[in-house]
Amino acid sequence: MRALIQRVTEAKVEINGATVGEIGPGLLILVCAMQGDSEAQADAMAAKIAKLRIFRDEDGKMNRSILDTGGAALVVSQFTLAADTSRGNRPGFSQAAAPDLGERLYDHFAGAVAALGIPVATGRFGADMAVSLVNDGPVTIWIEG
């Protein structure tokens, strides 16, 4: 799986002008299932992100996790994270999981984050979404695993 996480003060996702997911302080997690991925990989990525110490402590250092801060997560499917730009000018997405597997792993990942005690909002798999956020820091981190 691949994920791009952004520490945010707020984030939301809209479909056709209607808000379908919204959070205050926490993480926007853009996630993509890749060919060969499994529920075990989704679980491991959820655990890693939940423990990642990227929030400020009382001294202003990045030393706290989302679990420590009580923040929320907005989980959004983003198959374009599978982009292969090594040839030509048009990205290829053949390494992304097939849509049925991608949706199943996306749902599993969001559930795994929630099972860790993190409030979760989501987008809608396969939908044309408008995502807005206020990146805090900015802090943006790429995770693959």
78 catalytically annotated: yes
Residues for the chain: how many in total? 145
80 catalytically annotated: yes
The active-site residue out of 55, 79, 109, 122 is 79
Coil/strand/helix, residue 89: coil
The active-site residue out of 19, 35, 80, 93 is 80
Query: Cα separation of 143 and 1, whole Å?
Result: 8
The active-site residue out of 6, 9, 41, 78 is 78
Q: Please report the sign of the dihedral spanned by the C-alpha atoms of residue 123, residue 125, residue 130, residue 135.
A: positive
52-78: b or e for each residue (b if 16 or more CB lie within 10 Å)?
bebbeeeeeeeebbbeebebbbbbbbb
Type of residue at 127? A
Q: Which residues are catalytic?
A: 78-80
